[in-house]
Amino acid sequence: MKVAIVGATGLVGEVMLRVLDERNFPVSELIPVASERSIGKLITFKENEYKVVSLQAAIDMKPNIALFSAGGSTSLEWAPKFAKAGITVIDNSSAWRMDQSKQLIVPEINANILTARDKIIANPNCSTIQMVMALAPLHRRYKIKRIVVSTYQSISGTGVKAVKQLENELAGIKGEMAYPYPIHQNAIPHCDVFEENGYTKEEMKLVRETQKILDDRTIAVTATAVRIPTAGGHSEAVNVEFESDFDLNEVRHLLNESSGITVQDNIDVNTYPMPIYANGKDDVFVGRIRRDGSQPNSLNLWIVSDNLRKGAATNTIQIAEYLLTNNLL
């Protein structure tokens, strides 16, 4: 398999390289792609060095698959050019997620809808992925009516510039700001840009993408997304109302039996998910599982995941693995 990584020098691109190696994805030739200023740089993968090339050069090298993590504008312009050349694109930006002609995939939930005709496949938002991973098995059993979610999102979700901002603030250095305010010792209720309805794009991604992935537009979702000064890992407080009642032991059983989920829920010994323990792992961690006594058929969950891995790189590569295993490339 000839594999192109578009955005190979970015935070997610670097994690993609690591995950490809860890999961022994059959890469016969790596084609790292980045911006003009990075062309010619060397990328090391499995003890071999590869030169960073331009987008057009990557197309000319005819990879089997291209993993994109270079922003929406790059994806909108270049993903169709790769697809036209017969290259399957898995895109990590928001560019194609709500396009009705493109599939939005979390492999454990809906990879079965993919076909060989899908040449541009969208990877969901990191916050959406971890939430639907936990909710999908519960939705199948109890049918979700409404979700109220508040996120506590790592600066790594913003990118290198945000990581640098926090490092500068910790060191007392004035530097370039990724956010309109300091992030050290702060919480900023502002992820992405505001839309006309007063919600941010990040919050509306949780609404729209959840409905699309779970294939149910009747699910009501409302979200508040907050940026906090953690270096890696997103956390979410999720309140979910079901159409039918549930048993807490069955909820835990359904989650325990779901691939890619680890239940950490023993308050007697202070066991619950935290980003410091999710960092570097691929699972979605679920805990603080408890009934909401304020209204019927309602459940509270605390969901944590490494946003650069399952929230981005790992999910992308799992899609590629599914395509390869099922002869869809």
Catalytic one among 139, 191, 234, 253? 234
What is the average per-residue pLDDT within 101-116? 98
Residues 30-52: pLDDT tens digits?
999 998 899 999 999 999 999 99
Give the angle 287-200-187 at the CA atoms, nearest 5°.
Answer: 55
Query: Quick one: 253 and 235 in the same domain?
Result: yes
Residues 108, 138 within the same domain = no
Asked if 180 and 262 sit in the same domain, the reply is: yes
Q: How many CB atoms lie within 10 A of CB 205?
A: 23
Q: Give the pLDDT band of residue 74 (cuts 50, 70, 90).
A: very high
DSSP bridge pairs for 301: 238
Residues 244 and 299 both lie in one domain: yes
Q: Find the mean pLDDT for residues 258-285.
A: 97
Share of the chain above pLDDT 70, in %: 100
Give the pLDDT of residue 55: 97
pTM confidence score? 0.96
- Write down the pLDDT at residue 182: 97
Residues 192 and 80 in one domain: no
pLDDT band of residue 210 (cuts 50, 70, 90) is very high
Give the residue-averaged pLDDT of 20-32. 97
**What does the mean pLDDT of the chain come to?**
97
Q: Across the strands, what pairs with 19?
A: none
Question: Can you give the pLDDT at residue 265?
Answer: 98
Geometric angle at alpha carbon 70, from 69 and 73, rounded to 5°: 125
State the catalytic residue, choosing from 126, 184, 190, 253. Answer: 126
Predicted local distance difference test score (pLDDT) of residue 169:
97
Alpha-carbon distance of 137 to 127, in angstroms, equals: 17
CATH number at residue 54: 3.40.50.720
Residue with tokens 């200023």: 37
Query: Within this chain, do residues 176 and 303 fall inside the same structural domain, yes or no?
Result: yes
110: confidence class by pLDDT, cuts 50, 70, 90: very high
Count CA within 13 A, CB hemisphere, residue 271. Answer: 9
Q: Is 126 a catalytic residue?
A: yes
- Rounded distance between C-alpha atoms, residue 220 and residue 15, angstroms: 33
pLDDT digits (tens, 9 = 90+) for 142-186: 999 999 999 999 999 999 999 999 999 999 999 999 999 999 999
- Domain match, 85 and 26 both: yes
Write down the pLDDT at residue 61.
98
User: Do residues 43 and 146 both lie within one domain?
Assistant: no
Residues 52 and 79 in one domain: yes
Instruction: Name the band, by pLDDT with cuts 50, 70 and 90, for residue 5.
Output: very high
For residue 40, the model assigns a pLDDT of: 95
Could you give the CA distance from residue 115 to residue 307 in angstroms, rounded to a whole number? 27
pLDDT in the model for residue 279: 95
What are the tens digits of pLDDT across the range 223-245?
A: 999 999 999 999 999 999 999 99
Task: For residue 288, give the CATH number of its domain.
Answer: 3.30.360.10
Clarify whether residues 134 and 90 are in a common domain: no
Reported as a pLDDT band with limits 50, 70 and 90, residue 27 is very high
**Total domain count for the chain?**
2
Three-class DSSP labels, the chain: CEEEEECCCCHHHHHHHHHHHHCCCCCCEEEEECCHHHCCCEEEECCEEEECECHHHHHHCCCCEEEECCCHHHHHHHHHHHHHCCCEEEECCCCCCCCCCCEECCHHHHHHHCCCCCCEEECCCHHHHHHHHHHHHHHHHHCEEEEEEEEEECHHHCCHHHHHHHHHHHHCCCCCCCCCCCCCCCCECCCCCECCCCCEHHHHHHHHHHHHHCCCCCCEEEEEEEECCCCCCEEEEEEEEECCCCCHHHHHHHHHCCCCEEECCEHHHCECCCHHHHCCCCCEEEEEEEECCCCCCEEEEEEEECCCHHHHHHHHHHHHHHHHHCCCC
Q: Which residues does 102 contact at the CB level (< 8 Å), separation at least 6?
A: 96, 118, 120, 121, 122
| Range of the structural domain that residue 137 is part of | 127-307
Residue % of the chain over a pLDDT of 90 = 99
Residues 172 and 144 in one domain: yes
